[in-house]
Amino acid sequence: MATTRCGIGYDAHRLAAGRKLVLGGVEIPHDVGLEGHSDADVLCHAIADALLGAMGERDIGHHFPNTDASIRGISSIAILQRVADVLKNGRGRITNVDATLIAEAPKIAPHIDAMRERISSALRVDLARIGIKATTNEGLGALGRGEGMAAIAVASVEQN
């Protein structure tokens, strides 16, 4: 008998000059990018943590430590593909993922369809199971000042 499990994920990264901005596996034109050991895709990282949490696994930092030089610069789409393998090995099936990106700029809405396609492909699930939204922090705090970006995600998984 399958049980339904739920997980939540959160990630935040500073913006830095000289980096590409990658969100949801999509490179978005912007004058700065997110700083991190990987491509620093906060959206994919939050989704990965939500899925790992739903399976009762340890977080993304345990599975992909920033001390591992072999994964420096790794694509967060590759991280999601590996997380999908963790779910498969644990007999988990993604029911849905819902995520919100928090960023003052650039405008995210024009890129959401491409992000959903990249994420659904990486996770090997139907596009209808992936929801992505974007909002600002209304000028409040470090995110509101445009110093970084964050994402929060929730995922439901059926486990046999």
- For the stretch 143-159, pLDDT in tens is 999 999 999 999 999 99
pTM: 0.97
pLDDT in tens, 93-148: 999 999 999 999 999 999 999 999 999 999 999 999 999 999 999 999 999 999 99
The 8-class DSSP code of residue 119 comes to H
Residue 101 forms part of a structural domain? yes
Residue 144 forms part of a structural domain? no
The CA dihedral of 142, 144, 149, 153, to the nearest 10 degrees, is 110
Residues 6+ apart with CB under 8 A from 65: none
48, 79 Cβ separation under 8 angstroms: yes
Q: Which pLDDT belongs to residue 41?
A: 98
Q: Which pLDDT belongs to residue 143?
A: 96
Mean pLDDT of 30-50: 97
Residue 87 forms part of a structural domain? yes
Pairing of strands 92-102, 3-16: unpaired
CA separation for the pair 155, 38 (Å, rounded): 22
Number of domains the chain contains: 1
Q: Which pLDDT belongs to residue 45?
A: 98
134: tokens are 């974007």
CATH number for 51: 3.30.1330.50
Residue 81 forms part of a structural domain? yes
SS3 34: strand
CA 157, distance to chain mean position in Å, is: 16
Closest CA to 94 of 129, 119, 63: 129
* Residue 48 structural domain: 3-139+149-159
Give me the chain's average pLDDT, please.
Answer: 97
